[in-house]
Structure 1
Amino acid sequence: MTSNPDWTMFLSSSRALQASSRDQGTQDHAMVAFVGNLLPIVSHKASYQRLLQQRGGQAQLLIDNLQLALQAHRWVDAQKETVLKATLRLSKVTGLLPTSYRLPEIEVTRRVYEAPCVDIYRGAVGGRVVCLKKYRSCYLDAAGIHELMSREAVIWANHPHTGILPFLGVYQNGSGVFDSGLYLVSPFMEHGTITEFLASFPGVDRRLLLKDIADAISFLHHHHIIHADIKGANVLVSSGGRACLADLGFARLTEAAVLTWTSIQSTVCLGTVPWQAPELLQVQRSGGYVVPTAASDVYALGCLAYEIFTNKPPFWNIREGAHSATRAYQIIKAVVKYDERPQKPSNGSRAFRLHGLTEEVWSFMAETWRRDPQLRPSAAEVS
């Protein structure tokens, strides 16, 4: 039987880590002590639950130190995933985020994009143009919105990659814990989404853009993170012409990285229907849980490739112009019942003549759309 971890020693090491911030050598020593006391806590059910029961200043101190440890300690992957999960859970139950995420006053200039559940604003801080993302009440209450944004912030902040939109921090325009004025902040991408970029620069290397995103997805999957909403609208292009994956709002840890007593399932309809894998559409059709996987991400990556090479969304030809709900139903029926996939362009189309699509690339895209998820390639194989 596993003995109880020393809770007093854990709290003492947490306070020591906070006090060591001014001296790198002292902080390195304090970090080793904190991590050494932390791992037994998050590996022991009763102690882990006690960690999640902390509130107020003690909870903020722990969240700050967990974030510091995630960024500064040299982790074994499995250990980092466990600590990341603890940070996510503590943030969820307390409504708190690491203080290191907080940004100073930002001038919000104008709204540049509006969707059913999210608004995107342009702003400025310290002479830098930034993008601010704010969720609106759609199917969630204020607490649910805060939970969604907090989870996205923690996952995003701890997984920097050249193919992922940089995370700058959060801006709180208000004082309430679940205040609706919470924004996620990133650099403003002047080129916009990948579909907008390709409309303005049709002659770019589209295979390179696809590789940028495949590399980013492979990176996330290596860390047991599923994006769950891959589509052209969630891919931005930098000033240097490289693609960056954005919108980790639906991202989740795979069950392999989740302690059994803290697992999360979702009844939310994730992603967007034309990009969703058959197994997800089948579950939605029957009213069950939607649990995205690495294989469903790869299916969506194939649909993104279709967008990149054809300048059209997948299943654009099904009931074009129909009401969105009617069209979604027809796509679900086509994919689930009749096993249809995005329509292949003709050999004389612009996709083949001008955009870099080849039979080899199309065959590989078709592999990502296999009905059996286990037969699809991995994101690493695509990249």
Structure 2
Amino acid sequence: MPSPIPISRFLPRALPPTTSLGPCSSPNQLQGRRLSCIKPRRVLRRRSWCTVIWDELKLLDLVGSGGFGWVYKGTYYGQTVAIKKVRKCVKNKLAARHSFWAELNVAHLVHENIVRVVAATTSVPADPEAEDCVGTIIMEYAGRTSLDHRIYNCTEPLEMRGCLTFSHDIVSGLSFLHSHHIVHLDLKPANILITEAGRCKIGDFGCSHKLPIGGDLTPNGQLRHLAGTYTHRAPELLKGGRATLKADIYSFAITLWQMISRDQPYSGDRQCVMYAVVAYNRRPSFSRIFNESSMGRGIRSIISNCWECEPNRRPSAKQLLENIDCLKVQL
């Protein structure tokens, strides 16, 4: 299957595009080592090109499914991984392929607050399910618990300290992504996983974009984005404007509001909500908890700055991280 993203984009300079990549190739970079010297036991620990051996990949439990496809818990060379099979979209096959390749925008990146890609393939063993699959992505297993589940399905609410700790993790991941000119464009509690150690990791990059250095446009100057979740989508995107890194800052503001409020951002008709956000600068309401302490007021100030209508008035991820650290010191 041809990729809308040239394979040479992922290849290190030392490895020409004509090199045979085998049935499945990891998009991670080869760090000056030959393929023959990579030991299978270290396949998850090395950022290297490797050929996926299907006999070593075992599916265990179905973790989730939806319009995007299926996510399984499994093992690869005996180590626990998550396996995502991207489903073909009958109505829009190009969108399905874009979602698959967008996931690989972070394939070469390693950060403690980003779900790491181990390998990916558009070639799968012959089976009935393969006909409905664009490709398979093997990722680190970050657990089953999402931030959405923690907010809405746990009896105990998140304390201010917990909200700031999670916020630090999320913004740290965003800052790292933005330093590599990658915008997530679908940041929300459901796409943030919480590990057993209590660390947040950003996942699901199917809507992400790699922006050119020094700008917010694609090479042809027409990067526009319509995917993602409307409740967390920045107003400039709702209007069909260009995507910038500041769109993620807006999404973070809605996410932080959810952590504190334990409520849904909006109710009512989807189109009415989108119109009100754009035309009337509508935002979720601040409840009493935001005014009961200096910490609550500080978090309210951060949220208000992050969901400003004008992208240029929102802080960068780096500035936001500093603001969150200042609040944490007060605890």
* TM-score after normalising by structure 2: 0.73
* Aligned pair partner of 1:189 in 125, 130, 142: 142
| Cα distance in structure 2, aligned partners of 1:298 and 1:341 | 14
User: Could you tell me which residue of structure 2 aligns to residue 202 of structure 1?
Assistant: 157
Distance 1:248 1:328, change over 3 A: same
* TM-score after normalising by structure 1: 0.64
| Cα distance in structure 1, aligned partners of 2:28 and 2:62 | 31
Distance 1:261 1:240, change over 3 A: closer
Aligned residues: 287
User: Could you tell me which residue of structure 1 aligns to residue 265 of structure 2?
Assistant: 314
Query: Retained in 2: the 8 A contact 1:103–1:169?
Result: no
Distance 1:339 1:173, change over 3 A: same
- 1:111 CA displacement: 2.4
The 5 A counterparts of 1:21-32 are: none
Structure 1 or 2, whichever has the larger Rg, is 1
- 1:210 CA displacement: 0.7
More helix by share: 1
Query: Retained in 1: the 8 A contact 2:26–2:118?
Result: no
Structure 1's unaligned 5+ residue stretches are 1-17, 19-30, 39-50, 74-97, 284-289, 320-326
- What percent identity do the matched residue pairs reach? 21
Query: Retained in 2: the 8 A contact 1:191–1:239?
Result: no
Distance 1:255 1:111, change over 3 A: same
User: Could you tell me which residue of structure 2 aligns to residue 165 of structure 1?
Assistant: 115
* Aligned pair partner of 1:117 in 65, 68, 84: 68
User: Could you tell me which residue of structure 1 aligns to residue 325 of structure 2?
Assistant: none
- 1:122 CA displacement: 2.3
- 1:235 CA displacement: 0.2
- 1:364 CA displacement: 1.1
User: Could you tell me which residue of structure 1 aligns to residue 81 of structure 2?
Assistant: 130
Cα-Cα RMSD = 3.7
User: Could you tell me which residue of structure 1 aligns to residue 231 of structure 2?
Assistant: 274
Is 1:371 paired with 2:323?
no
Query: Retained in 2: the 8 A contact 1:193–1:233?
Result: yes
* Aligned pair partner of 1:226 in 159, 183, 186: 183
Q: Could you give the per-residue CA deviations for residues 359-380 of structure 1, whole angstroms, max 9, x where no partner exists?
A: 1111110111111111111111
- 1:343 CA displacement: 1.3
Distance 1:58 1:188, change over 3 A: closer
The 5 A counterparts of 1:1-383 are: 57-58=18-19, 60=21, 68=29, 71=31, 100=50, 102=52, 104-105=54-55, 106-138=57-89, 139-141=91-93, 145-153=96-104, 155-170=105-120, 172-174=123-125, 180=133, 182-198=135-151, 199-200=153-154, 202-203=157-158, 205-256=162-213, 263=220, 265=222, 269-283=226-240, 291-315=242-266, 318-319=267-268, 327-347=269-289, 358-383=296-321
Query: Retained in 2: the 8 A contact 1:164–1:245?
Result: yes
- 1:102 CA displacement: 2.8
| Cα distance in structure 1, aligned partners of 2:26 and 2:299 | 46
The aligned amino acid for 2:305 is E
User: Could you tell me which residue of structure 2 aligns to residue 44 of structure 1?
Assistant: none
| Cα distance in structure 2, aligned partners of 1:297 and 1:363 | 17
Distance 1:296 1:151, change over 3 A: closer
| Cα distance in structure 2, aligned partners of 1:129 and 1:180 | 22
Distance 1:265 1:132, change over 3 A: farther
Query: Retained in 1: the 8 A contact 2:232–2:251?
Result: yes
Secondary structure at 2:288 match in 1: coil
- 1:179 CA displacement: 7.7
Query: Retained in 1: the 8 A contact 2:113–2:200?
Result: yes
